[in-house]
């Protein structure tokens, strides 16, 4: 494995993203991490937002399109739904990777269909791929080459490597 972004680089970028988000989102926004990959990133981002005086409401949604594989199946499945009403809220979806865009496209449409005032997207890593779904991230931590299989900092290889404190590339 090769380290793509060190633990210190990730911490600095999360702090910078928190500042971008704090300046762009209303005070009462809903932060919605997409499980399972985004939980590490979302926890650190939430603490960084708190240091800036932000205290978003947090609720989780869980989606699956990989099913243990290294490539998306193309079918998005809702595994855990939101537990709060979304109507009239500003929602910030947080995900680990924007790759094909299918999961985030699904999530954003679901949030807007349920009456959210707005739905924005923050991702730790945007892969330089031909995104199959027409989806754009509003807040981006890092860029990665499309053919890199990245792990760590919440991102996994069939359930493992989520606990790495850095972002690495499986070689």
| Catalytically annotated residues | 99
- Burial class (CB within 10 angstroms; exposed 0-12, middle 13-18, buried 19+) of 39: middle
Which helix (H) or strand (E) element contains residue 19? helix 7-24
Q: Angle at the Cα of 17 (from 109 to 42), degrees rounded to 5?
A: 60
Alpha-carbon distances, residue 17 vs 45, 47, 85, 141 (angstroms): 8, 12, 26, 7
On whether the CB atoms of residues 137 and 151 are closer than 8 A, the answer is no
Find out whether the peptide bond into 36 is cis, omega within 30 degrees of 0: yes
CB distance 96 to 123 below 8 Å: yes
């Amino acid at each position: 494995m090769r380290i793509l972004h060190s633990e210190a680089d990730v911490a600095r970028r999360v702090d910078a993203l928190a500042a971008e988000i704090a300046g762009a989102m209303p005070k009462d926004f809903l932060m919605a991490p997409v499980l399972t990959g985004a939980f590490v990133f979302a926890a650190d981002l939430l603490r960084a937002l708190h240091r800036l005086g932000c205290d978003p409401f947090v609720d989780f949604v869980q989606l699956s399109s990989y099913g243990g594989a290294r490539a998306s199946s193309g079918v998005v499945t809702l595994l855990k739904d939101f537990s709060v009403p979304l109507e009239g809220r500003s929602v910030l979806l947080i995900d680990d990777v924007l790759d094909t865009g299918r999961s985030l496209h699904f999530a954003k449409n679901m949030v807007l269909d349920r009456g959210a005032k707005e739905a924005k997207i923050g991702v730790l890593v945007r892969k330089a791929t031909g995104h199959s779904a027409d989806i754009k991230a509003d807040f981006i931590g890092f860029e990665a080459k499309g053919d890199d299989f990245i792990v760590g900092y919440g991102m996994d290889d069939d359930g493992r490597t989520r606990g790495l404190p850095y972002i690495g590339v499986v070689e």
